[in-house]
């Protein structure tokens, strides 16, 4: 994010004028990238502003064609006007950011103090041979720019701590992609205080947990009630390539449901994932 609000440089163009301009550039009933680029050039707006204008005019950018059997253009606009904070840009965070950017969530705040190291390469989708040593949040921002340039990314190369609560301001949902139990509990507390839903995911070897926690619910405190260590059984089991992809994808689905207000969320229960024995079940936790 640049710090500049939408339409600061230019007044917001009239929706009817945009609709007329866009109508002449449709392919079937969707607007290809060339049309979106024309909107940017003609109205002097940024990529993000152009996407908002196009969706508000009721037109779907062609990149979202395969979303539309489940998401109307109005819902796509709602996603675009949503802001999600992803805390941690490692195993879970990389797949979360990938999924949210491709889905079309318009604003992402991505937080991670660490740099990629060689042993991240087995599972972290953002880790590449060329960015070992680079900050993970900055790498996430570069990746999103390559996937979906309409998405505004604020990359924060710092740990989420007591001074980071302002990062939650304006967020519709927060994703927990941390790797430390104490930090997870602190994030859950910050989300509760800020009144923002938290989508939790955690992994160890073949196993994982997913839950959605709304303010006032204490799922994480229950799930970690007995914890005596900041690390769990992942310190013995490690983490392979596929477990973070599974768990993070389930987190993206939960976030999508929160943002569009549809479906049944994993509230006051935990989804337990056991890929070794092919068992997935939800258990009430309240």
181 touches another protein (CB under 8 A) = yes
- Complex with another protein: residue 24 or 276, whichever CB lies closer: 276
CB of 76 to another protein, least distance (A): 29
Tell which residue, 5, 255, 48, 259, has the closest CA to residue 151: 48
Strands 198-204 and 107-111, by their bridges, are: unpaired
188 touches another protein (CB under 8 A) = no
- Complex with another protein: residue 31 or 89, whichever CB lies closer: 89
Q: Which of 234, 249, 253, 257 binds another protein (CB under 8 A)?
A: 234
Q: Which of 197, 232, 246, 266 binds another protein (CB under 8 A)?
A: 232
Is the CB of residue 114 less than 8 Å from the CB of residue 90? Answer: yes
Q: Which residues pair with 53 in a beta bridge?
A: none
- Rg (C-alpha) for the chain, rounded Å, is 20
Handedness of CA 11, 109, 62, 199 (dihedral sign): negative
**What count of other Cβ atoms lies within 10 Å of the Cβ of residue 38?**
17
CB of 43 to another protein, least distance (A): 41
160 touches another protein (CB under 8 A) = no
Task: Give the x-and-dash track for 70-109 against another protein (CB under 8 A).
Answer: ------------------x-xxxx----------------
- DSSP H helical ranges for the chain: 15-23, 33-43, 47-56, 73-80, 91-103, 136-147, 181-194, 219-223, 234-237, 242-260
184 touches another protein (CB under 8 A) = yes
- Complex with another protein: residue 118 or 182, whichever CB lies closer: 182
146 touches another protein (CB under 8 A) = no
Is the CB of residue 61 less than 8 Å from the CB of residue 51? Answer: yes
229 touches another protein (CB under 8 A) = yes
Q: Which of 47, 186, 204, 260 binds another protein (CB under 8 A)?
A: 204
**What count of other Cβ atoms lies within 10 Å of the Cβ of residue 4?**
9
114 touches another protein (CB under 8 A) = no
- Write out the residues near another protein by the rule CB under 8 A: 88, 90-93, 176-181, 184, 201-209, 222-234, 237, 239, 244, 270, 272-274, 276-277, 279, 283-286
């Amino acid at each position: 994010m640049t710090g500049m609000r939408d339409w600061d440089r230019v007044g917001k163009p009239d929706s009817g004028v945009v609709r007329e301009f866009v109508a002449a550039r449709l392919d079937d009933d969707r607007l290809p990238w060339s049309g979106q680029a024309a909107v940017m050039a003609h109205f002097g707006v940024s990529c993000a502003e152009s996407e908002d204008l196009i969706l508000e005019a009721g037109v779907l950018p062609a990149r979202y064609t395969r979303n539309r059997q489940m998401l109307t253009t109005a819902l796509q606009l709602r996603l675009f006007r949503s802001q999600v904070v992803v805390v941690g840009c490692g195993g879970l965070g990389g797949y979360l950011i990938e999924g949210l950017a491709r889905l079309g969530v318009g604003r992402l705040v991505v937080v991670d103090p660490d740099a990629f190291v060689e042993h991240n390469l087995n599972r972290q989708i953002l880790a590449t041979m060329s960015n070992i040593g680079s900050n993970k949040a900055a790498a996430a921002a570069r990746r999103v720019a390559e996937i979906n340039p309409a998405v505004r990314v604020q990359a924060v190369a710092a740990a989420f701590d007591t001074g980071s609560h302002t990062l939650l301001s304006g967020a519709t949902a927060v994703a927990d992609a941390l790797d430390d139990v104490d930090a997870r509990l602190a994030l859950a507390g910050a989300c509760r205080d800020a009144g923002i839903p938290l989508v939790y995911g955690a992994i160890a070897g073949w196993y994982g947990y997913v839950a959605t926690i709304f303010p006032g619910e204490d799922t994480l405190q229950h799930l970690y009630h007995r914890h005596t260590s900041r690390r769990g059984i992942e310190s013995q089991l490690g983490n392979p390539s596929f477990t973070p992809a599974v768990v993070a994808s389930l987190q993206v689905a939960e976030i999508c449901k929160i943002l569009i207000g549809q479906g049944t969320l994993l509230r006051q229960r935990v989804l337990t994932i056991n890929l070794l024995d092919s068992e997935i079940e939800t258990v009430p936790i309240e």
